[in-house]
Structure 1
């Protein structure tokens, strides 16, 4: 899988210094079981390469910075290399100043937000990541047409004895990419993920895919589903994420951009990265020890089903990572066919056989 992604990115002309970071972020996404944001994104990236909007040779550039903040230009490239750069820069600043905040603009899709939050946790910092999106897929409370994207939010905190706490979520009931995955696997959608133009749930995967990716009406429900009060909170959370990952860093708001975007214009997606050094607040090791105690209490909570113990955010993905390292990453036939097509069009070798 790693070799296949690398071969395709090389065939598109990606700069060597950007390629490996991108490959590792994408493969880590698939290892974690986030099938919607890894190799299956290559079809979308191919479209951007072909229309000229995606630049694959420009390195991230710091435009301005202070002791604890920075603004980075993504160079209209894929979001993976600039996001890894920005999160590491935020941690560097946090180690010096206690907190580091790095904004990115002029970027494209960056995969799974949790991959970058985990960078901070591995380096002993608390990390938070948000991002604006290109797609307009979320139907607001009381609305019939989409106006926001899935606007992801990720948060990670390091422990000692336990795995890091890692929350990685869309602000819609599900990520748009998961609808794509259900379509690729021809699986019925859970009721409430996708709504039609009348606000009614859609469960047919092909109809759901068409609504989310091709039609101007209907879309994904906000986090909280269709109940109005819960939906309003999910919609508000999505707005908060866009304010940090879009408005603050000077990147575009999709409904506004889509009115004037010309073929070949970059997506201009924005990202937001924050790192906090626990040592700025606690003596070394105290934070991690206390977080271990918190996680232990969660694990000790009586389970409704003894065969399914209580889990903490990040543990299902880590368990899936270990399974896939052992058994491999599943690729449905429909996705395999699409990857073969990309290889044929780009003259990259097909390596998944």
Structure 2
């Protein structure tokens, strides 16, 4: 939604106020100060990058899971297995942000020692935007890749009428010398389910083809689409590539790849099976996957970054289709949003502000965003 007109009643909140609001709520819920700080950092960075679906707007869902006993906000990540080039962490049914930050940091530490490394996570919950963790690697001069299983069942597979898979994300980041890092952060569906929530909160019609009903018909009403994605009576979100059979089958395959690495390899749950077999208070048991590669294992120091700079320069220099336009590279829109939002604020739609105020009332902290 960033870069588009805001819904009536939207408040532009300073990043420091959003940070203070999230942090105060997490502390009131009983999260340790250091874990709350790490989680807040990831959530605010997500909102600054314009990924409104995965930042402060997730607090309502986190509260629901915490009050239902599915989410342990006091849990600390633990190392289960470890070798010089891999590790497996258990999140202890806690939020995914602290364990994911720890996992990518470990992956980079190991990669800088042995060339490349992978770290898996199990028994986790939602971790926000995958690109936040891929960027950790790029900032330290490594190539980073992140995949994850997801909590929800939202993707309608090729030729299916009901959803089975989640919007399993894939993120990839690579460092450069003078350009912004290349950062790809994508759902394996046409759009992430959280993006449907953002359109619902802003009362804006969805683009055609994002969400379909049980007969494959497009739903553009944001509230009906949100109901389909959250309650899932039928239909759901189309795979990446839309509804064309072969295109959707490739998006469906990417989602399976993300689950295989983030879920099956780590020993985490598969949402449809979990939803059939576990009780309502059982943790989500999500799995995540983090990979880091030191370019120096393949190239002389600086050679990879220099070549990638040349590639990005060539892409940026491509003649635009429209006069005055600009050819973008993955990561450019998010970094532009970050600059703009640090200056102008993070948009808090009226509906979201009202829900956050209710959370503050329930946990006894001041409401800081309006």
Q: Shorter-chain-normalised TM-score: which range?
A: over 0.9
Say if 2:145 is the partner of 1:128. yes
Q: Does 1:13 align with 2:19?
A: no
The match for 2:362 is 345
Q: Secondary structure in 2 aligned to 1:330? A: strand
Please list, as runs of the form range in 1=range in 2, the aligned pairs for 1:171-186 lying within 5 A after superposition: 171-186=188-203
CA-CA distance at 1:263 after TM superposition: 2.4
Cα distance in structure 2, aligned partners of 1:51 and 1:159 = 44
**1:224 aligns to 2:241 (yes or no):** yes
Shift in Å at residue 28 of structure 1? 0.1
Shift of 1:348: 1.7
Q: In the TM superposition, what is the alpha-carbon distance from 1:349 to its structure 2 partner? A: 1.4
User: Could you list the per-position Cα deviations for residues 251-288 of structure 1 after superposition, in whole angstroms to 9, with x for gaps in the alignment?
Assistant: 00000000112122110000000000000000110000
> In the TM superposition, what is the alpha-carbon distance from 1:20 to its structure 2 partner?
0.4
Residue 89 of structure 1: which of 73, 81, 106 is its match?
A: 106
Superposition deviation, residue 55 in structure 1: 0.7
Distance 2:333 2:61 in 1: 27
Matches within 5 A, 1:68-87: 68-87=85-104
SS of the residue aligned with 2:247? Answer: helix
Any gaps of 5 or more consecutive residues in structure 2? 1-17
Check if 1:258 corresponds to 2:275.
yes
Match of residue 351, structure 2, among 334, 338, 344: 334
1:67 to 81, 84, 88: 84
The secondary structure found in structure 1 opposite 2:166 is coil
Distance between the aligned counterparts of 1:97 and 1:106, measured in 2? 27
Contact 1:146-1:216 at 8 Å conserved across structures = no
Q: Which has the higher contact order (CA 8 A, sep 6+)?
A: 2
Aligned to 2:67: 50
* Structure 2: distance between partners of 1:201 and 1:116: 33
Distance in 2 separating the partners of 1:255 and 1:34 = 26
Aligned to 2:13: none
Structure 1: give runs of 5+ residues left out of the alignment. Answer: none
TM-score (norm 2): 0.95
Aligned partner of 1:2 in structure 2 is 19
User: In structure 2, what is the Cα distance between the partners aligned to 1:97 and 1:128?
Assistant: 17
Deviation string for 1:89-140 (max 9, x for gaps)? Answer: 0000000110010000000000000000000000000000000001000000
Query: What does residue range 130-149 of structure 1 map to in structure 2 within 5 Å?
Result: 130-149=147-166
TM-score relative to the length of structure 1: 0.99
2:122 corresponds, among 105, 112, 118, to 105
d(CA) in 2 for partners of 1:76, 1:108 = 7
Question: Offset at 1:216?
Answer: 3.2
CA RMSD of aligned residues (A): 0.6
Secondary structure at the counterpart of residue 26 of structure 1: helix
